[in-house]
A and B are shown apart, each in its own frame.
Chain A
Amino acid sequence: MEVARYWRTTGQRYQLVGEVCPNCNNKIFPPRDVCPACEKEAKTPFAFSGQGEVYSYSTIHAAPQGFEKYAPYTVALVRLKEGPLITAQLTDVDEEEVKVGMPVEMVTRVLREDGERGMLVYGYKFRPVLPVSNDAPKATAEPARMPEPAMSVTAVPVTTHAVVA
């Protein structure tokens, strides 16, 4: 079990906490402390909305170790509303329905389990935005959002940086 490894990225995996560059306002996910756009230091935590659209996708038939029992499953590159691409699984969707450009939103799901007695690893997946009303993506976006980062959320990325650095 790699408890510390999973623990130090809980802010990213549970609440999509990345960073915003104080110099050029570029939104960064995953956090990397140096802005890839302007190469200045960027350590200000920023919680992403979880809204985005499918940039590309693939259905995996031959899965890596630990994921065999989930196959086939669909993975995607998702373009987040705030800019960055993110790699994640799609969920609650029929693979036949997936299209490039499809609006999706973040949900929290089990990513994997380390055996019967092992740890459950939770993280983000993306599902199609549920059609509710005319302006569905925005209307559903707000209730589905994680609460604004409080103490616990901001504390995690800070710890992460200390460990990584």
Chain B
Amino acid sequence: MRDVSIIGIGQTKVGEHWDKSLRELGFYALDAAMKNAQVEKLDAMYVGNMLSGELTAQEHIGALIADFAGLRGIEAVKVEAACGSGGAALRLGYTAVAGGLHDFVACIGVEKMTDQQGGTVTSGLATAADADYEALHGLSFVSINALLMRRYMHEHGYKKNDFANFAINAHANAINNPYAMFPSPISARAFAEAKPIADPINLLDSSPIADGAACVILAPTSIAKEFTDKPIRVKATAIATDTVAVHDRRDPLYLEGGAISAQKAYAMAGVGPNDVDLFEVHDAFTIMSALSLEASGFAPRGGGIRLALDGEIGIGGRIPITTMGGLKARGHPVGATGMYQIVEVAQQLREEAGANQVKNARLGMAQNIGGSGATVVTTILERI
């Protein structure tokens, strides 16, 4: 297997892009990454996306974006794993380069959500859950996370406001990210008083619906230095699965898919959680941050939330998370999110994170979660 590195990164601002279509967003991120890598040709493109069919009546977006970008003829396919689509696209790009099939591969994540009204988007997101045994009973995706949060509070004795620091930290970091949707702080009081969506989850537990696209260009590490001074090695990437429906899990409060994918990634990279300098968690809801930290070995069961309560998740903390704003404040264009995480970890390792720079960051990790934990992609990147 060949060693693989990221030689270019690109992203659009996350937000409500009324004036831009899905293909344009995808192209802008791709174009930015190709220019960043100083490459003009690609062998293949893997496009992570969840809801193009549901929300924009457009599938077949691999070919669509390849053609729109002037790359007609190359291998290009969409990769779908709900909110884990972006991370999954990176994984497929990695296997293609590592396996020697391709030398230059673009991994894109793109989502266009704001063309539709709230109820349609809520239903679209619920397709990440079990259609017959969760969504048919009126469960929104938010409510499935709310069931987990309520049970977590019940089993571990936490109160609703104990989750506040996950959201406050994300917003504080987004202030310094020019690509973030909400570069503004929130207070503990605002968190406590935010309007309920699916009790106990309120608006400020939740990541926002958004449009956006992010992209990385992969190449064999052996030639990466010809294109960039700062190649970032893909040290590990691993996908693991769990049951789609929460009620089918052995223990709903344990992200088994998260634990398996993290263990596979640690083994592949030859590292452990103590070696990781920063961790982009999938904070679609505050409860997911806690569960992801626990599944990945940064905290014991019921202890993920303690890291937030004890101030360990900030830029200078024991394990900085959501360093550029996370899903909560950078925004959560679902199928693009996993690729934003990769781009942001790469920014940190290239020392291009500005005021949010984690000092001496050498090893960064991202965990991208599809659904409520049915697909989990863990990626570990390393500064060379």
Contacts and interface: CB of A to CB of B under 8 A. Distances in A.
A38 interface: no
Contacts of B133: 30, 86-87
B138 A58 contact: no
Given A62-B122, A64-B126, A87 B139 contact: yes
B151 A55 contact: yes
Contacts of B248: 36, 85
B138 A112 contact: yes
A64 B119 contact: yes
Contacts of B130: 87
A75 B143 contact: yes
A62 B198 contact: yes
B118 interface: yes
Contact of A64 (B122, B199, B246): B122
Interface string A10-44: 00000000000000000000100000100000000
A34 to B, nearest CB: 12
B151 A63 contact: no
B192 interface: no
B245 A87 contact: yes
A62 B142 contact: yes
Contacts, number: 108
B119 A77 contact: no
Given A62-B122, A77-B151, A123-B137, A85 B247 contact: yes
B198 A86 contact: no
Contact of B140 (A62, A86, A89, A112): A62
Given A61-B199, A62-B198, A87-B247, A70 B138 contact: yes
Contact of A75 (B118, B147, B154): B147
Contacts of B101: none
Contacts of A88: 137
A13 to B, nearest CB: 8
B150 interface: yes
B148 interface: yes
Interface in B60-83: none
A84 B247 CA distance: 8
Interface in A74-92: 75-77, 84-89
A5 B132 CA distance: 9
B138 A56 contact: no
Nearest to A36: B248
Interface in A50-73: 55-68, 70, 73
Contacts of A65: 119-120, 122-123
Interface in B125-139: 126, 130, 132-139
Contacts of A112: 136, 138
A55 B245 CA distance: 15
Contact of B150 (A56, A73, A89): A56
15 contacts: A30-B245, A56-B148, A59-B198, A60-B138, A62-B140, A62-B197, A63-B138, A64-B126, A68-B119, A75-B139, A77-B147, A85-B247, A85-B248, A86-B133, A100-B151
Interface of A: 5, 9, 30, 36, 55-68, 70, 73, 75-77, 84-89, 95, 100, 111-112, 121, 123
Given A61-B198, A70-B138, 18 more contacts: A5-B132, A55-B151, A59-B198, A60-B198, A63-B119, A64-B135, A67-B138, A68-B119, A76-B147, A77-B147, A84-B247, A85-B252, A86-B133, A87-B147, A87-B245, A87-B246, A89-B138, A112-B136
